[in-house]
Structure 1
Amino acid sequence: MSFFSGKDKDWFDLFVTSISYSTRAARVLQKAFEDGLIDFEEIQKIKAIEHEADVHVHRCLKLVEEAFITPIDRSDLIEIVSEIENITDCIDSIGNHTYMTCIKQVNEDALNLMQLLVEACAKLEELMKNLNNYKKNQKVINNYIIEINRIEEMGDKTYLNAMRTLFEFETDAKKIITYQLLYEKLEIALDKCEDVADAIHKVIISGS
């Protein structure tokens, strides 16, 4: 895939590539959480994906810096790429936390939050694939934005219930701290997905 032809579609392909790293990282993390038992070999793969994503971000910023004309405002391009990078960074942080605190298994609440994160990333990836003709695909894009916001709201409810259950029934202080941070990191990652959707929505409105 060439990002240097100067065509609008190539600029939006940058977003597709960016979010594909987030989706890959989320799915690897979900696989590491599979059946509730932690696979640390899978978690280690996230670091490599995060590094690829960082390299891609630097490439994007260089392209924006050197471009004579961009299909949308330069600041919007930078904001969207940066917001997507935040998702991948959050997923990497979840992997790091799981490894550092030596979590051996996760419960249903964590698995549910992880599933929502995978769904949100996948929806964002589909959204990005429709951006190359965003004026024509505005209805489709808006539907994806609504769906991502819905997933994030489900994440908020799942997070609140998970925290309530944790503090109501868990008596081990170490587990409380460990799972509290895990839930928070998963919820923050979902918030970052919504931030990307909101950034896209802003571009769509300004370009209408």
Structure 2
Amino acid sequence: MNSKTKVLLAEDEISLGMIVQESLESRDFEVLLCANGDIAWEKYKASKPDILVLDVMMPKKDGFTLAEQIRKIDPFTPIIFLTSKGQTEDVVKGFGQGGNDYIRKPFSMEELIVRINAQLDRKLIKNQQRDWLELGEFEFHPTRQLLKLGEKESPLTARESQLLEILLENSNDITDRSLILTRIWGADDFFNARSMDVFITKLRKKLQDDPNIQILNVRGYGYKLVC
């Protein structure tokens, strides 16, 4: 089992990106190097990294735009911005777009690694603190894979729990089918889509004791958890 920390690195300056990638890999990180924001978005959806290191100035989709897009569906994964910009308003904008930290170029690899580890430590603490999540009349524990209604606890399978967690992260909004399929099943294809539909049906049955919770099928787009 691969237990390496997965870093998604988006950097359009190829030589710098390769240097950072090699340095991180030498310290036992797994690095997904992307040359622009569009590629980084696709890699993010497919790989679910532990942390993102995003250059601000990139072609096709800049780091701020990419971070904003990611934060709509993922409020938890740490984001560190890399930039040559030094203006205070740029720093403020970076944090406003969902960034957790900000490193100005040029930087040392030791500084980047220290900052990556600091964000991962904070993420671990937050995950440990995340206990039962509210879901209508239910409580949901993603790590223990349990649904609780009053004193009654119902176990979930790993995929049921993953699917419910993604829907809950984006509750009362549409969750893209392709995003779910790539994050949980690894590919957006017909057979995986049929499998996902089966799991949606199972979740609906397990949540039916609260009539205010619905998982709606938004044709052509995905699903919407209403709670």
TM-score bracket, normalised by the shorter chain, equals 0.3 to 0.5
Which structure shows the bigger proportion of residues in strand conformation? 2
Whose Rg is larger?
2
When normalised by structure 2's length, the TM-score is: 0.31
TM-score (norm 1): 0.32
* Greater RCO structure (CA 8 Å; 6+ sep): 1
Higher fraction of helix: 1
